[in-house]
Each structure stands twice: as C-alpha cells, then as structure tokens.
Structure 1
C-alpha cells in the first residue's frame, strides 16, 4: 500500500477477540453508495464463507460489479490459520475483521487487519484480511511478495538463561519452521523446541497458499531476519506481513498434533542424527493432510444434448450451484452425478461454433493426439481454448468422461482450469482457460524461442510443475496420477507460470495402495514413462516422479530425452555421465549463462537424476522434491545410474567420454498413444 500507513496495536474487541494490528491506506477514500462501496459490500458478504469453505482456508477475490472499466474494482484476500478444524470460527474471524476494518478505516479504499484471540482462547484460530483498489494488490510475483506494512509484537518478558544461547535457539526454531512451511503444500507448519532454553518453545509459520515455495520462504526469511538481539530473547512474539507471518510462544497456541520437534543448536551433535534425514523419506508430521477420502464408488460425469435441452435453449454460460447432470454414450448407459461445480459451464454447440468462428484454421492452436485445439472468444471478451476430440482419436467416451470428471474437481494454480464442456451427437468438446504462451515444448526445443526462458523463468516452471503434481498426489480431493507428464502438456500463462494439462490418461488412485497394475494396454509417451510402467503396466505416484525428472533434465538442457546424446541412447544416461564426471555444466542449455545460478542448476540436475532412478523405491516423492528445491542447504543424495542406462548402437564402452554433443534427430523413440 502506497503512502503513509497508520498502525494501531492491540485494540480489544468483544468476546476476547483482539485486533493485533491494522493498517489503513492513505490513498483516496471512497464515498458512500459509490461503486467501490458496493463492490466492497459484495466481498464483505462472500469472503467469510468462501474462506471457511476453502480446503486451504484461503481466498482471494476481485469484485467488479456494475463496472465496465477498472474504476471501483476491489481486490481482497482472507486467510485463516490452518490448524483449525472449526470452520465457523474461521468464518466469524474474517467477518469480524471486515467489521473492524470498516470501523477503524472508514471509507478507506485499502486496509489490512491482523486478527487473533487472547491467551484464554489460544487454540481459537486467528486470521488476516486485506483489501485494496490497487491492481497489483493480489500479485504473487517474486519481488512483490510480502509487501505491505511490517508489523511485529513481542512479549516484554525475557526467557531466562544465557542470552546468546536463547537467541540462537529462537532463530533455529523459527528458521526451520519457516523452511517447513515453504515446503508444505498449504504453506503452513508448526514446530517446538525443548532443551535449547529453560522452557519449551512453540512456533508457527504461514504464507498465503498461492505463493510459490521460493516466494514463501523468502517472505518468511525476511521476517525472521528482522528479529534483533533484544527481541530474539523474548518469551514470545509475532511478526506479520500481508503474505506471510511467524509466531513463537512459551505455550502451545495452536492445535496441531503433528508439529515437528526441532533440535536446539546446543543439542545438535557434530554428526547429523539419522532421524531428521529419515523423515524426509517417510511421512512428514508437519504436513497437514488436505485429502478427504473419495467415495468408494466414484460416479463418472459427462454431458449430452439431452442435458442441454433440460437446461433450456440458451444456457449461455451454464448454471452454477448444485445440479443433477445426466450423461450417456449412444444408447448404452446413463450416468448421473449430483455435485457442486463452481465456475463450470455447460455450453451449447452453437456457442462453441460462434466462439471459434466455425473452427477456422486461423484460430487453430495446434493438433494433439486426441484432436485439434482452437482459440476462441465470447462476446464479453473472455478468451478460451477449445479441445475438439476426434471421433476416431482413441479418446472415446470413457476418456472424455474421465477428463471432465477429474479436472472439474481439481483446483490449483498450477493446473489448467476447465471452464466447461459440450457434448452433442459425435461432438465431444472441452473448454479450457486460454493460456497465451502455448506449451513448454514450444519454447525449450526451439533454438530462437528458448532464449526467452532465462533461468529465473525455468526454475519457476520446474517448481510450479512440482507443486501441481504434489497437489494431485497428496492434497487434492482425489488422489490422481497424471501418467503423461511431458513438455507439450505443460502450458504457460502470460507470466510463464506452469499449468499441467491433458488429463485424458489420468487415473484416480486409492490412498491405501502403493501401486496399481493397469488392466488396459499401456498408454502414454515413451521416454517419459517409468520402466516398471512401460514394461509391466505398474504405475504409482513414482511414475509421475520419473516423468518429472525427465522433464526437469529437458528444461535444464534444452534437449529432448529421445535424442541420442554422446554414447547414450537418451538424455538420462548422458546427464548421469556428466554428473559423475563433475562436468554437469556441459549439460546446461547454451541459451543460459550459469554464473550465479550454477549451484541451483547443479541441484536441479541432481534432483532430476534422483527422480529417474530405475527402481521406484529409490525415487523421492513430490513432497521430497519440493523440500529439496526449497531448502538450498539440504544435503542431497548421490544418484545411482538412471533407468534406460545403456549405450546407443552407435556407441560403445570405449567411446571417448569427451563426446558430449546430442544428435539433432528429432524422432521420438516411440509413442504408444499419440498425444
């Protein structure tokens, strides 16, 4: 927020509720009954319920009712503490924050409130609320993260003991909790430390879940780094910015039975203890489970003309809310499903024709294995991408139903958003958000365009893809295995953020199983398929991990895995050889300049090689991958030779190890099902 901001501390509210702090923007005020006032009222009415009903207890929204331009637009976000199971308390906290903001900042176009409860309600969750008319208010771009007024509050009583030892313990506790929070999908973690001071200390760190792991860690580290020598020995304290906050106390102020025990600096032996290392390869107690068990039988969904007729002639954008949909293929079977699909639309075929100019060649974005994709646009200016499935493409009704069912229920910033679908006769159509920068392969395998992807953009794509996979594997309502992760299925938005697409081959995975054997033919793309899946049809979350490792090596090198590289048949063996010879820099794309990023690039290669290990048990989970990408001080394991580790027919074991160029052959090894 620009200008001078007013900071008010510790203003008591009824029922033990406390506004820890608030700030009022100093910009122009809005007037009563103005458009801004109306839009703010809309957010006031909707944000509390939306935040409490969100799996992440977080919501950001923009209100632009009755406004043609940008004047009067209100942007807001609300975040409740993630240790709560009391959704009513979350809703009440956000609602109280709104009331408090309007009381203390009357007619201000911007305000932020940090809201909590006193020690008699220590386990009742706090929340934060912010709103503004500034168009950059909701930005999560690196460099803007954490903007807003810096607020801190510390206990006036000191912890007994040696000041140096106490300060080191507090910093260790907060720093590790911050790293854990950044590595967690919900950007939230708790921890405790005993033995480092005269009292047990408890800590909490949280970011808004829409931040990347790197931006969250940077935001939290700035907070921890701001603690001076005086405040580092206090008996408790909390520090806030709009996008992140940390807190520590001498009592348990949160309700998280899975908090992590963090060793104190004085108790750490010279050799690292095995327990923390093993935790990174087992169940992480500091990760809060988001997944809710799916029904024993999951009813599929799909839409037909009969459904459209029931929804009346012109359902321009579909109907939101609870609805019963009926779907069928020919006269074989009818599926019904009652569900709430927010922002999901049932389109009439004539709408699609109009939006794509009758599927004109000028609007064609590309041709996939299951049919062409077209750019389209509605009369209100909304741009869309239309996937028109070929009748003989191989993606029949089951695949269509599968993709609709999956994507309609999956909501994550690193997954492409399905806006709706259309089914009429032989036509099966999926309508996605339009992403202007096409797919990843459009850039990294083109000698001219790859220069547009500097290392900052590539590492954001790697981390974003990892976070999308982690959501699918662990934190979505359904546990999903993608099975076809590759550059052409990574779409890029206007800011080059990665969004995983194409769920036609995805599988819902039982949380009680460790792996599954497909009952149908093995489908996917060779070169990205894990060996156990390609050879025996066995797939698991580790199958996607393997594909992610291949993808990462391609992003770093700018080379396709299917090319012969040196004496090896693919990129995997070539990369491992260079890594073993400590010549990994020769793998880096010539369009990149390693310089200050060399350590980060080497870590990415190491992580990728761990992901493509031949045995699935040797591969990390995506949770481990996020932790390794986020924590630059974590010691990484040395990879064994990867899968498909063999020499090309043109090479032999006596081939000189200095031959490190890849062939320019652009033919893939094989593709079972064209994508």
Structure 2
C-alpha cells in the first residue's frame, strides 16, 4: 500500500515538474526578447506572450518616462531591462518557474510576467484588481502643526494633479511634479506613469486606486512608491527623476488680514493727537485774548490816574 502511495506521489510530482519545465522554457523564450523590444519602442514599452495554456507566459517591460528624452535612452533602457531579465534567468529554477506572477518594480524600469493575461485591458472600473506593492519612506513630516498640515495638504494636491496629468499625457502616460510649500521643508517631487497601452480612463482609474492607499496616517510619510501592474506613482522630498517637472505647485497666497482691535485703538490714538493740539491752541488763543484785554484795561486806568494828578497840580 505504501508503495502505491509513493508511486502516485512520484507521478503527480513528475507531472508538476514537467509542467513547470514547460512554463520555464516559455518564460526564457519571452524574457530574452524584452530588452531589445522595449528599448527600440518609441515609448520604451514592450509586451510578449508565448506558449499554450496552461503554461502560457504573459510579460511586459516598461522604462520610466523621464529617460525617453535622454540622448542615451535606448541603451540605458535596454541595459535596465536586461539586468532585470538576467536576474530571473540566472536564478534557481524554483525561483523562476513556480510563481504565477512575478514583478520587479525598479527605479528606472519595470518587469512583470504572469500565467494570467496581464496584457489585456483591465476588467472593472478600478484599472485593475491586483494588490498594490507599497514602499514607504521611514521618515515622517515633522515640525510646526500648521506647517505639517500645509505640507501634507499640498503633497496630496500634488499627487492628485500629477496622476491627472499622467493619465491625459498620451502616448507615454507619464508626468512629474514639484511642490514648494513655502516653509523650510524641502521641495516635494512626484512622478506618475501608466502603461502606454492604457486609455485615459483606465490610467486615471488605476492611479486613483493607488492614491487611496495614502490615508490620513500614511500621508505624514516623506515619500512612497506605490505600484500596480498597470500603473504606479512615487513622491519624495528629494530629486529622483531627470528633466524639468511637468507641473509646479506653490502654496496659495496668504489672505489679507482685517485690522485688529489693537490697530483700531492705535488709529484712534493717532486721530486724538491733532484734536488735542487744536484744543490746546484754542485754549491758548482765548487765554491770549483775555490777558490782552486785562493789560489794556490796566493801562487805561493808569493813564486816567496820571491825567487826574497832573490836573490837580
């Protein structure tokens, strides 16, 4: 009985290993084509599919949009993708072939392969249903409460505008941004990209789904890269992409402040000064008139007395 069990186990294992070998051979066939096909594409993007179900392999590679305009972009893109494919091809068979889906989200290029059809347009309204891959900066935004609130709010608005810009930027579906908070905090830079074969609607839906990961708690982080199979975005408090930013965000102008009660009291004091001066001048004038009349009366009396005395003599 035990012998029968061992034989059945060997049969199942042999069939499984044979199926894995077929998938692995198909994977190698696909991967060797991607470096040249990706780098020779005007948008630095290539897809491939090879084999028969259930061992068919779907794969794609994408280079980041900011290297498309670089002089050496073709060779740079090719080497980036080749390094990724070599990492898979040189790995042990168990790491290569026994995964239903594999993704390598690098800084400058992306490689994804799967048994599922990841080349077809996404189903549903969210631009895909794969679980996002998250990489967060360990540091949080710190400082004055009002500054932190301003920085996180502007960072959120920067991401919203960047993903909208990327979704509408055919054919590359790529955009970058920069935000100056007007504080001592460093400028925040953003980047968003979809696969070039995505429509505006699908790209925007995919990126907005990823934006939902940045909740009230995680929005305090100084940076992150959130990837899905069909799109991704990244933001950091330092420069991580080449070229000029597609969009720039600055803080809104400070609202004009109404005069405070203290200022109104100061204005009242200023108005009181000339009034006091006028009152003092009027008092001085009246005093002068009164004194002048009194002196004139005394002189008149003195002259009358002198006249009488002279007449008596």
Report TM bin, short chain.
Answer: 0.5 to 0.7
- TM value normalised by structure 2: 0.66
Q: Which residue of 2 aligns with 1:165?
A: 150
Kindly indicate whether structure 1 or structure 2 has the higher relative contact order, using CA contacts under 8 Å at least 6 residues apart.
Answer: 2
**How far apart are 1:99 and its partner, in Å?**
3.3
Number of the residue aligned with 1:141: 122
Asked whether the equivalents of residues 204 and 246 of structure 1 are also in contact (C-alpha less than 8 Å), the reply is yes
Q: CA deviation at 1:100?
A: 3.2
The equivalent residue for 2:162 is 177
User: Is 1:114 equivalent to 2:104 in the alignment?
Assistant: yes
Q: Quote the residue 2:271 is aligned against.
A: none
Structure 1 equivalent of residue 63 of structure 2? 80
Q: Which residue of 1 aligns with 2:274?
A: none
1:132 aligns to 2:114 (yes or no): yes
Matched, 1:193 2:192: no
Give the structure 2 partner of residue 52 of structure 1.
39
Show the 5 A alignment for 1:155-304: 155-161=137-143, 162=145, 163-185=148-170, 186-195=172-181, 198-264=185-251, 266-267=252-253
Alpha-carbon shift at residue 258 of structure 1 (Å)? 4.7
| Deviation beyond 6 Å, 4+ runs, structure 1 | none
Could you tell me whether the CA contact under 8 Å between 1:93 and 1:115 is conserved in 2? no
In 1, the alpha carbon distance for the partners of 2:17 and 2:179 equals 48
Over residues 276-329 of structure 1, what are the superposed CA-to-partner deviations in whole Å (9 max), with x where a residue is unaligned?
A: xxxxxxxxxxxxxxxxxxxxxxxxxxxxxxxxxxxxxxxxxxxxxxxxxxxxxx
Aligned to 2:293: none
- Shift of the alpha carbon at 1:60? 1.3
Distance 1:156 1:141, change over 3 A: closer
Q: CA deviation at 1:45?
A: 0.8
TM-score by length of 1: 0.32
How far apart, CA to CA, are the structure 2 residues paired with 1:29 and 1:99?
25
Deviation at residue 269 of structure 1 after TM alignment:
8.0
Bigger Rg over Cα: 2
Separation in 1 of the partners of 2:129 and 2:109?
18
CA contact 2:21–2:97 (8 Å) conserved in 1: no
Shift in Å at residue 239 of structure 1? 0.6
Distance 1:115 1:57 in 2: 15
Unaligned runs of 5+ in 2: 1-14, 257-313
**In the alignment, is the contact (CA less than 8 A) between 2:103 and 2:113 conserved in 1?**
no
Q: Measured at CA, do residues 33 and 137 of structure 1 come closer, stay the same or move farther in structure 2, by a change above 3 Å? A: closer
Q: Does structure 2 retain, via aligned residues, the 8 Å contact 1:140–1:211? A: yes
Deviation (angstroms), 1:238: 0.9
Instruction: Supply the distance in 1 between the matched residues of 2:80 and 2:137 (Cα, whole angstroms).
Output: 23
Distance 1:41 1:114, change over 3 A: closer
Q: 2-side partners of 1:269 and 1:187: how far apart?
A: 36
Could you say which structure has the higher helix fraction? 2
Give 1:653's aligned residue. Answer: none
Structure 2 matches for 1:195-594, cutoff 5 A?
A: 195=181, 198-264=185-251, 266-267=252-253
The whole-number CA distance in structure 2 between the counterparts of 1:174 and 1:114 is 23
Aligned length: 229
Task: Give the superposed CA RMSD.
Answer: 2.6
| Cα-to-partner distance string for 1:438-492 (whole Å, 9 max, x where unaligned) | xxxxxxxxxxxxxxxxxxxxxxxxxxxxxxxxxxxxxxxxxxxxxxxxxxxxxxx
